[in-house]
Amino acid sequence: MKKASILLLVLMLILVGCQSDEVTKTEVNTSETETVDTKDTEEIEVEEVVEEEVKEPFVVNPESLRAKAAEHGIYIGAAVSMGDFGFDNYLNTLFNEYSMMTTENLMKWDRISAVKRGSYNFVAPDMILQHAKDHDMVMRGHAIVWHDSRPDWLKVAWTKEELTEVLEEYIEDVMGHFKGEIHSWDVLNEIISDENGAFRESRWYEIMGTDYIRVALIKAREVDPNAKLIINDYSIEEINPKSDALYELAKELIDEGVPLDGIGFQSHLVSGGIDFDSMQANIDRFQELGLEVQFTEIDIRVLAPFTEERMAVQKEDYKQLMKMALDNDIDTFVLWGVSDTQSWVPMWFQDYGSPLIFDNVYEKKGGYYGMMEALEEHEQ
C-alpha cells in the first residue's frame, strides 16, 4: 500500500533586534502558538513540521472479477484469517479480486469472548474491518449463535432465563460493537440437524427450545437495524428434508413477525453433483417468502486426482453458480477462502480438494474464468 506524506513546513522567523529571550512556535494544523524560553536573544516564530498521512483511494482494476461482478450488483466475498495477512500474494489477490470479507473463525463466539462473560477481544476483527474499508470492501459477520462455537464459560448449566439474558447481552455487545459496519450477520448458524430436518439438539435447543431463534433475531434487529439478519446452513441448497424444515421455520417466523432477512446457502458443494434445477426451485420458494438468498461459504470440491476433465466440470459448476446468482438477484457470492491454500476441504474430506478459484500459488483457476464468462454473457 502506498502512503503519501505531505511535508508542510515553513520556518519563519523573525524579529530582529528583539530584546526578549523567547521563541514563538506555531503548529500549522492547530494554529496554536506557544512561547518557549531560549537563550537566544531573538524571538523566532516557527511553524512546526506536521506530517500528515494521506491515504490514496483504492483503485479497483476494471478487469478484475470484483469489478465485473460489481457491474451486476454482486459482491465477491472471501473468508479470511488474520495469519494470512502477512503474505503479499494473499493480500494482492484478496484486495484486487474480492469486494466482501467475512472472518473464517475470528468473529465466532469462542474467539470474541473466549475467557469470560462480558469480556471481548475485537482486535483482529477490527483490523480486518479497517482493511475492508481501506479497500472499498464490505463485511459479513459470522456467526452469532453456533453450537460448534461456545467458550467454556458458556457451557455451564444455565436456566432458560439466564441463557436468554446471556444471549441478549452478547448480541448487544458484539453486534453493538460493529453496528452500522456489517452488510449481513449470520445470526443463526446450522440450527437444523442432518437427520430428517429435525432441529439440531444443541445446548441452545435443549435449554431454550426454539425460543433462542426468536430471541436472537429480535435482539439482533434491535441492536443493528441496518444489518441483514441471516439463518445460515449447509446442505440446504437443494430441495430436501433439511431445506424443507428450514423453509417451514422461515415461514413460521415471518408469520409471527420475527425479523429475518434471508437464508445463507453455505454451498459447500461437490463438483459434478450439483442439482441446479432443484437449487433453482429452492431459491424460488425462499424468495417467494420475501427472503433473500445469499451464497455464504462456497467451495466446490473435486475428487482427486484433479484431471483436466474434472477441473473442466468444476469450471462449469462455478459458471452455473454465478449464473444462478445473476438470474436470481443474489448479491452475495462468498468463497470459503481466498485460494486453495486456505481451504478447510482437504483436511475434512479425504480424497477431495482443489475447491476454490485460485490455486496454491494464487493463479486463477477454471472456476474464476467460469464465473467471468457468466458475468460477461449475462445481459445487464
Least distance in Å: CB of 149 to ligand G3I?
A: 6
Between CA 266 and CA 199 the distance in angstroms is 18
Looking at the Cβ atoms of 292 and 299, the one nearer to ligand G3I is: 299
Q: How far is CA 127 from the centre of its chain?
A: 12
Looking at the Cβ atoms of 93 and 189, the one nearer to ligand G3I is: 189
Least distance in Å: CB of 309 to ligand G3I?
A: 27
Q: Looking at beta carbons, which residue is closest to ligand G3I?
A: 344
Least distance in Å: CB of 232 to ligand G3I?
A: 7
Between CA 147 and CA 202 the distance in angstroms is 6
Q: Which residues bind ligand G3I (CB under 6 A)?
A: 104-105, 148, 189, 234, 266, 297, 344
**Residue 330 corresponds to which cell in the numbers above?**
443474489
Between CA 236 and CA 228 the distance in angstroms is 19
Looking at the Cβ atoms of 95 and 234, the one nearer to ligand G3I is: 234
Least distance in Å: CB of 377 to ligand G3I?
A: 31
Helix 211-223 to helix 160-177 angle (10° resolution) is 30
Strand order through the sheet with 44-55: 3-11, 44-55, 22-27, 33-37
Least distance in Å: CB of 189 to ligand G3I?
A: 6
Q: Which of 190, 237, 238, 292 is catalytic?
A: 190
Where does residue 86 rank: exposed (0-12), middle (13-18), buried (19+ CB within 10 A)? Answer: exposed
Looking at the Cβ atoms of 164 and 266, the one nearer to ligand G3I is: 266
Looking at the Cβ atoms of 131 and 142, the one nearer to ligand G3I is: 142
Would you call 316 a catalytic residue per the annotation?
Answer: no
Would you call 222 a catalytic residue per the annotation?
Answer: no
Looking at the Cβ atoms of 252 and 351, the one nearer to ligand G3I is: 351
Least distance in Å: CB of 123 to ligand G3I?
A: 16
Catalytic (active-site) positions: 190, 297
